[in-house]
Structure 1
Amino acid sequence: MTDSARRAGYDRGPLLLGVRHHGPGSARAVRAALTAARPSTVLIEGPPEADALIPLAADPGLRPPVALLAHAVDEPGRSAFWPFAEFSPEWVAIRWALEHGVPARFIDLPATHTLAWEQREEQKEQQGQGGPQGADESEDTPGDGRPQDGGGHVRIDPLAVLAETAGYDDPERWWEDAVEHRGPGRHDPFAPFAALEDAMGALRERYGAGGHPRDPVREAQMRLQLRAARREFGDELAVVCGAWHVPALRARTTVAADRALLKGLPRVKVDLTWVPWTHRRLARAGGYGAGIDSPGWYGHLFHAPDRPVERWLTKVAGLLREEDRMVSSAHVIEAVRLAGTLAALRGRPLPGLSETTDVVRAVMGDGSDVPLALVHDRLVVGDVMGEVPQSAPAVPLQRDLARQQRALRLKPEALERELELDLRGDTDTGRSRLLHRLRLLGVDWGAPVRSRGSTGTFRETWRLRWEPELAVRIAEAGVWGTTVSGAAQAKAEADAAASRALADVTALAEHCLLAGLPDALPVVMRALADRAALDTDVGHLAQALPALVRSLRYGDVRGTDTGALAGVAAGLAERIFVGLPPACAALDADAAEEMRAHVDAVHAAVGLLAETQAGVGTGTDGTASGADRGDLRHRWRAVLRTLTLRDTVAGVLRGRAVRLLLDDGASGPQEAARLMGFALSPGTPPADAAAWIEGFAGGGGGLLLVHDERLLGLLDDWLTAVPAEAFTDVLPLLRRTFAAYDPGVRRTLGELVRRGPGRAGERAGAGGATPGFAAQADTERADAVLPVLRLLLGTDDAEPVTTDDNRFAGVGT
């Protein structure tokens, strides 16, 4: 045996390199140990089914962070991930093996058992059978209040125990001091692993499996794999695994005992592939159990050849400069000095993340935590996203999605961004259809948001962010088809058949139009007609109508034939007109509020429907003529008038009906004032009158009361006449109504009330003019502002503009 092999510890058996997952110090130490030991093969903690995927790590197109994704073939939504970053020791071991032509294999519990085990545990939890079985029953389990598993066994964090033993209250800080800042052993690259093995051995003697019931089974599998590798390659092999498992792999057990632990494990058929991962998902906040708090910081430590603190603070300064903060090189120099001083005062070998964070706050942030939030989000965690080559195994749906992403220039990114689409262009239309089709499939890569600066239906705004879990959703959606279009169509047809609520089917019809799936519309429309014919609930019909009308508008922009939708929409409107007045009678306060929302939605939908279909003649599909559709608005107004006059209708609905008629020009201010006078008469209970006011004055920002002082006067007179004993009951309703107004409107209303609403004429000067205002407009003063208006509106200087120009009507006033 060579001296190198003897130093590596091959005289005791395989070289066991215990590491911390995603630890840059462990990664550097693993690379140094493998270079010194030159093992014949490298065994790595991970699912053995992924052995065939290891050679892809040599492909330049596979860039970490990436993850091995295993999902059940029959149930793609059941999945598991094994993430790798550039600073993960396992990834370093894989790359070293490929670079040196050494075989590399995974030796952990197969994914076929892992996924089946999780499924069995979930079923037991649902059945109320308690936690997972087979947990270690060590009598030495500590009772110090640490987290417990489902079976009541205490789970320990090995790093936390070692940190506490060393006098640290933060495991991350202890790990940085003990490993990250000290680097691999210069004279003996195997010394750090020997020390960590001794520490973990002491912990395993004290705590057994540490409350992790799967660990004995996983370690039995690893020992069996290790024995098989020794028979094939000899003793000169290296094992890279979590340091917690090293004592168990070193323990002497029999083959029969290990196989007994693996006997009877459940199985499920699985597929594995590489998928992109992100730094955010490596963080504990991202939900990965073996994650780290600061992947961006650890990535920096791994790649920094020297002076890590200086390089890090320079990077922070660059980020803050990009955000227009005043940070100079002097700030960096001072921050470096202060970080070193803090580390010395705290007894640390080098400044860590806590020291650099403190100095950034003090030196570059002027004591504020605001820049720290930016630094943490962009640098400490980071938005790095990995890439996977096309040669990686993938379901056909994933390949079709990748092809469309390239064709439409939509690159998946971990950083959230907004995408503005103009649907008048072919590329943006294709992007919109792709994103809507993915939403139909449950792949929420993008979420639609409100467009800024334009209300046209030709514009869409999306908020995009790619999450690694979307790879699971794509695999799960692969059961519907091999292309995004085909899968979305099949999913829409299946959802239409399974939907029972009318609103769900109408929303589905809207999604089909947005996604450009005309072949799915016949099936959806049949389901829609069936549900509409059977549903007698006016609330359900009112929920369905707005979605149908929006779909008609979308059809105008996308060029989709929406004749069938028009017929169904007209039929729904007629049924609402007939059924709404009886449905509004005898409702309690909550039901009346809900019905008011339905009335508002139907009012907007009827107006939009009349505008969209105006002038269209009767077609072969039986849709109404333009004259009939013009009459649609008239019949709706008749329904609203009916609501205003029925005493059995809740006050909030009667007030809302009056307001809608007034806004629509179907009722004049005098009629509105007359109905308000009836509602606020002394014979009306104060609570009912307040509800009427809420329905009438709610919404619209309160401008109606500002401009119509007669209505404000009626309201003021009623409010001052409310008895003291009833005022407490009506106050919440009034407060809810007027609190929604803008501050400027509330201030104006207060001034009008203080002056006395409806008394402006009394204060007018000679000729009926309001004091401070002339009887006629002063055109000379108005002409003085015209050059500024030309500049703002971009009007040609040569074009004559006067105060008589319609574009500037009212300027002189």
Structure 2
Amino acid sequence: MSGRGGRTTDRCGPVLLGVRHHGPGSARAVRAALEQCTPAAVLIEGPPEADELVPLAAHEEMRPPVALLAHAQDDPGRAAFWPLAEFSPEWVAMRWALEHGVPVRFIDLPAAHSLAGGDDGETADEGTGEQEAGEQEAGERGAGAAEVRIDPIGVLAETAGYDDPERWWEDVVEHRGGGGAGADALAPFAALAEAMAALRETYGDGGHDRDPVREAHMRLRLRAARKEFGDDLAVVCGAWHVPALAQRTTMTADRQLLKGLPKVKAAVTWVPWTHRRLSRRSGYGAGIASPGWYGHLFSAPDRPVERWLTKVAGLLREEDYAVSSAHVIEAVRLAEGLATVRGRPLAGLTELDDAVRAVMGDGTDAPSLLIHDRLVVGEVLGEVPEDAPAVPLQRDIARSQRTLRLKPEALERELELDLRKETDAGRSRLLHRLRLLGIPWGEPTRSRGSTGTFRETWRLRWEPELAVRVAEAGIWGTTVLSAATAKAASEAAGAAHLAEVTALAERCLLAELPDALPVVMQALSDRAALDADVGHLAQALPALVRSVRYGDVRGTDAVALREVATGLAERVFVGLPPACPGLDADGAADMRGHLDATHQAVGLLGQPDTERRPEGNGLRTRWAGVLRAVSERDTVPGLLRGRATRLLLDDGELGDGGAERLMGLALSPGTPPTDAAGWIEGFVGGGDGGMLLVHDERLLALVDGWLTGVPDAAFTDVLPLLRRTFAEYESGVRRTLGELVRRGPATAPRHPAGDAPDAAVPGFGPGLDRDRAAAVLPTLRMLLGIGQHGFGDDPPELSRPADDLTGART
């Protein structure tokens, strides 16, 4: 038996099966070689700590893609993955050995050394120990690393006259037939070993400066296996390593290379993986371009082109594309014709993509992008049996997922929760607790169907890296509840700012952590008492008020939170007016944000409810007094005075002519133009300010009159402020304002002859145009269902003249 990859019938040494990681052609060739050789043991490139996990690969609940996860026990964040798909040669060799009762040993550098890192500070990352020959490692190396890393597959492809290494590999390996009965299954490995030997003679380690250490350990493990099982062995490893394993070296020399390597205590387990994370685009060093396509090539029993295009047609039909069986037949013919013209043994992805674009996509790329994401790459998520080693926290998460019927999925999806239902409330608690632990399985997003606080919308996607996050969070406790409680208490003790504590209180309430909330509340009270910065207080108030609100929805006792929130609001009321005068432009902009946040918080905290919260009305009244004080103080920047005036107007706290009076004072000739422009920005700034000017032509006339009176010398100073203010309006609002300004003062409204002019309606110009108001009656009838659901004639309210409908506007 030849030590360089091939052998005849004699047994003279181990069979070295050089492969490409995650290659279906290599996987089929490995299985054929093992059937021919029937070795006494199988050695596989991988961490030796995983030897005890091999039997789990035969478990009925094990579904690839999966990965071996190794992490340092004292620092779970230092982790490495060894992914395996159904079409990975290592996985095929492992399953063959288990089916035939043959021992399996992993021979790569131990994870204990890989996780500890080398002298240059490099630590193990995704793909460590599984770096494929020819793949560029993601990320930059430290000083001393080789400047150039060769791509062996690229070199071989270029030598063969190909400009695409993937296409060359598909032609010579993935699309190659089995060779027929009686063919030597070891011949391809011998040819590949010779090619790699020539490359290693030319390029040495090819810039992979850690390979000599890894290969020294592989040779030591190979010697040990020969002593245990004899020479009848099969070694499955990256083709790049075959020449090094066949090299004759002494045991002393190999041990010398391994001497002094740093070491940590490591734990190894199986975790689910995804096809997307096998993709090279994910940054995986040994990644492939098309995991889904490779999986199809490996699993298709025959006619892979026809079966693939049938999958494509099914996907496009699900997405409402008009695709028939005739399209599939024509696409198959075109793909095969293109392969023949291009001299390929079988239509590859390039030909299939061209055929789909021409036949099913009408020449557009839209279907191709969908097919690439859903089929070429795919969103398959593997499964791992419960028997696999795991930290206690992982087991508790798995139990919660089963109880709540919340299965992890690789494909991103939205989850709508109704917190009034017990199961949905439990799902919300679990997701919030995991987020607090730094395990972002779900991300909250805006609810589309309802704005009620009893609804939540989450965007879920399970990533393999979350297994590392779970291991890291395991230091806080053995269950999700205990771990989240312990971490919340720790964060409360270490929080540096008041806003951090209030945000933590909100998260504790959402996650329903009753034991952590008292600790967080004590930290909140302590920091609130010591913090005198009104900006910090105003910044902390909204999150605290939201916590009170969500506490009511979730049935949580939020009395203590309400007391702290009320006290915090009172301190903001006292400190805000003295903090506003004398601020520069940046300080005024920051304070405006605090003003808006406090106004919104007071609106929630002071909702009128005389039975449960009789203090609500008083809180709103005191806040209105604060806004009046800010709006009428000359030393306060115009931006803040204008914003305070707008908030008072929106709440109905200004009497008739109140807004006009304050605007007239702010835009008087004695006011500096820049300060007046700031007042306008505060008053009508934001997306809703334009509608106020559209519907209240008196305010618009004041703004227009002030602007036309700005001196030429000051106009260039106020122009940027005005442009920033009006640029936030929608285009339709800006166009309407332009038409109103061009039209000039409002003309008398139209009304039938003989009728007296309508009385002016506050905020709507000098009178009501009854003809324009009557135009909405058909739409109003349709919305109310009048005349469509058997309600008979219009009610008297809709039969009156349009001016009598003024009350309906209110």
- What TM-score comes out, normalization by structure 1 length? 0.91
Partner of 1:356: 352
Q: How does 1:180-195 map to 2 (within 5 A)?
A: 180-186=174-180, 187-195=183-191
User: What is aligned with 2:671?
Assistant: 684
Residue 400 of structure 1, CA deviation: 0.6
Question: How far apart are the structure 2 equivalents of 1:731 and 1:417?
Answer: 46
The one-letter code sitting in structure 2 at the alignment partner of 1:714 is: L
Output the CA distance in 2 between the equivalents of 1:427 and 1:265: 51
2:748–2:767 Cα contact (<8 Å) kept: no
Distance in 1 separating the partners of 2:192 and 2:680: 74
Give the alignment partner of residue 169 of structure 1, picking from 163, 168, 175: 163
Cα pair distance change 1:447/1:776, threshold 3 Å: closer
Give distance in 2, aligned partners of 1:663 and 1:252.
Answer: 86
Who is 1:413 aligned against? 409
Change (3 A) 1:480 1:383: same
Q: Provide the residue aligned with 1:142 in structure 2.
A: none
CA pair 718-250 structure 1, distance change in 2 beyond 3 A: same
Residue 342 of structure 2 is matched in structure 1 by 346
Gaps (5+ residues) in structure 2?
A: 129-138, 759-765
Kindly state the Cα deviation for residue 738 of structure 1 after the two structures are TM-superposed: 1.7
> In the alignment, does 2:266 pair up with 1:270?
yes
Encode CA deviations 1:357-410: one digit per residue, 9 max, x unaligned.
122122211121122111111001111000011111111111111001000000
Q: 1:659 to 1:254 in 2, by over 3 A?
A: same
**Offset of residue 612 of structure 1:** 7.0
The reply on whether 1:105 has 2:94 as its aligned counterpart is no
Give the letter for the 1:713 counterpart.
Answer: A
Q: Deviations over 1:707-751 (max 9, x none)?
A: 111001111122223334433332332222222222322222222
C-alpha separation in 2, matches of 1:410 and 1:792? 45
Q: How many residues align?
A: 779
| Mapped partners of 1:574, 1:774: distance in 2 | 47
User: Do 2:118 and 2:262's aligned partners in 1 also have CA atoms closer than 8 Å?
Assistant: no
Q: Which amino acid aligns with 1:643?
A: V
Checking the alignment, whether the CA contact within 8 Å between 2:751 and 2:771 is kept in structure 1 is: no
In the alignment, the residues of structure 2 paired with residue 802 and residue 670 of structure 1 have an alpha-carbon distance, to the nearest angstrom, of 35
- In the alignment, the residues of structure 1 paired with residue 225 and residue 123 of structure 2 have an alpha-carbon distance, to the nearest angstrom, of 36
What is the CA-CA distance between 1:14 and the residue it aligns to? 0.5
Q: Residues 233-382 of structure 1: matches in 2 within 5 Å?
A: 233-382=229-378
Deviates more, 1:92-101 or 1:329-338: 329-338
- 2:25 is matched with 25
Question: Structure 2 vs 1, CA of residues 30 and 669 (structure 1 numbering), >3 Å: closer, same or farther?
Answer: farther
The aligned counterpart of 1:135 is none
Letter in 2 for 1:159: I
Residue-by-residue CA offset, 1:241-287 (whole Å, 9 max, x unaligned) = 00000000000000000000111111111111100000111111222
The letter of the residue matching 1:739 is A
1:520 corresponds in structure 2 to 516
* 1:440 equivalent in alignment to 2:428: no
Q: Following TM superposition, by how much is the alpha carbon of 1:791 offset from its aligned partner in structure 2, in angstroms?
A: 4.9
Q: TM-score, normalising length from structure 2?
A: 0.91
Partner deviation per Cα, 1:1-47 (whole Å, 9 max, x = no partner): 99xx9945764521000000001110111011111111111000000
Indicate how the Cα distance of structure 1 residues 201 and 147 shifts in structure 2: closer, same or farther if over 3 A, else same. farther
Amino acid at match of 1:649: V
Instruction: Show the counterpart of 2:639.
Output: 652
Pair 276,123 (structure 1): closer, same or farther in 2 beyond 3 Å? closer
Q: Does 1:802 align with 2:795?
A: yes
Q: Is the 8 A contact 2:116 2:123 kept in 1?
A: no
Change (3 A) 1:684 1:252: same
Note if contact 1:65-1:277 (Cα within 8 Å) is conserved in structure 2.
yes
CA contact (8 A) 1:480 1:488 kept: yes
The counterpart of 2:389, out of the listed 372, 393, 418, is 393
Give, as a single letter, the amino acid of the residue that structure 1 aligns with 2:476: W
In structure 2, the residue corresponding to 1:105 is in which secondary structure?
A: strand
Gap runs ≥5 in structure 1? 125-131, 133-145, 618-625
- Give the match for residue 138 of structure 1: none
CA contact (8 A) 2:112 2:263 kept: yes
Find the partner of 2:692 among 700, 704, 713. Answer: 704
CA distance in structure 1 between the aligned counterparts of 2:140 and 2:10, rounded to whole angstroms: 38
Q: Does 1:720 align with 2:719?
A: no
**Greater shift in the superposed pair: 6-15 or 235-244:** 6-15
By how many angstroms is 1:786 displaced? 7.5
Aligned with 1:43: secondary structure?
Answer: strand
Q: Secondary structure at the match of 1:611?
A: coil
Whether contact under 8 Å (2:749, 2:769) holds in the other structure is: no
Question: Given the superposition, is the C-alpha separation of residues 74 and 775 from structure 1 closer, same or farther in structure 2, using an over 3 Å criterion?
Answer: closer
Equivalent position SS for 2:52: helix
Deviations 1:668-703 (A, max 9, x none): 351111111222222323222222111110125221
Which amino acid in structure 1 is aligned with residue 585 of structure 2? A
Deviation readout 1:178-228 (Å, 9 max, x if unpaired): 111114443121111111111110111111111111100000000000001
Say if 1:147 and 1:155, in contact at 8 Å, map to a contact too.
no
Say which SS state the counterpart of residue 555 (structure 1) adopts. Answer: helix
Whether the aligned pair in 1 keeps the contact of 2:77 and 2:469 (CA below 8 Å) is yes
Greater mean alpha carbon deviation, residues 333-342 or residues 190-199 = 333-342
Match of 1:633 among 575, 599, 620: 620
* Secondary structure, aligned partner of 1:519: coil
Partners in 2 of 1:325 and 1:792 — Cα distance?
41
For 2:132, the equivalent position in structure 1 comes to none
RMSD between superposed Cα atoms in Å: 2.8
Partners of 1:448 and 1:744 in 2: CA distance: 32
Overall identity of the aligned pairs, in %: 70
Q: Distance in 2 between matches of 1:565 and 1:772?
A: 48
What's the CA shift for 1:590? 2.2
